[in-house]
Structure 1
Amino acid sequence: MLATIFTLLGNAAWSAQNLAVCVNSKGIAEEAECLSKEIDLKVAKFQKYFLAAQKQESLSGRSAEKLIEAQQTWEKYLRQHCDYLYSREQGSARFRDSAECQLRLYDERINEIWISYLTFFGSAEPVLPDPKK
């Protein structure tokens, strides 16, 4: 029962973070521009967390090579998956589907980088703030 409650609370928090973007755009061109800007902002946020993770690996005396390799694999997945969503639809819906896919996957990746590389056991402060907040 507790597992169900934690799952529901986690899903509610995740849903609140992923509210629809660019819903007030007027027309397809404005929506596409807005979504593109949102992706650019998300990529910039990702870069901040990813560079911090690379730095943490160096500070810990480890190579960031495996982190970089994993990131390249993830980026290939993002392109293949979100591009597929774009290709399977017709019309303007495909722009939104692909953009929302990218935004969602970047949110997940940023959170994973934060948990895996930028937080510590015990009471030590994380290197960067919780990206979900």
Structure 2
Amino acid sequence: IFSRNGLPDMIVSDNGSQFTSSQFQEFCRRLGIIHYRSPPYHPQSNGQAERFVDTFKRALLKSKGEETSMESLQNFLFVYRTTPNDALPEKKSPAEALMGRKLKTIHKLMLPSRATRKVIEKLPAYEVGCP
């Protein structure tokens, strides 16, 4: 993820061994990343991550039998990443907050584009009785 999106200013994590290791701490120090850990045995401190895990589990349970696991995962992640989030500045979606632009979604395809609106405006109005 870092090679694609660049280095974060900070990382918030739980106290999993992968995050408490001296190797990870050195990695963060060398790259100038501030690392915050939630207090042990207090997952509420990392509310956004806990909420995501809960949302993810519920979505997977609902989709059982409808799609393959990979399709279900990809669909969930796309919807989650493109949905505005109250916890983010200006209620942006996670994708918009990360990339600085909105991702194209199927909903956008349903809306008329500017080009379509211009063509419609130039069409003659239909009146009753006109052939």
TM-score (norm 1): 0.31
- Structure having the higher strand fraction is 2
Larger helix share, 1 or 2 = 1
The structure whose Rg is larger is 2
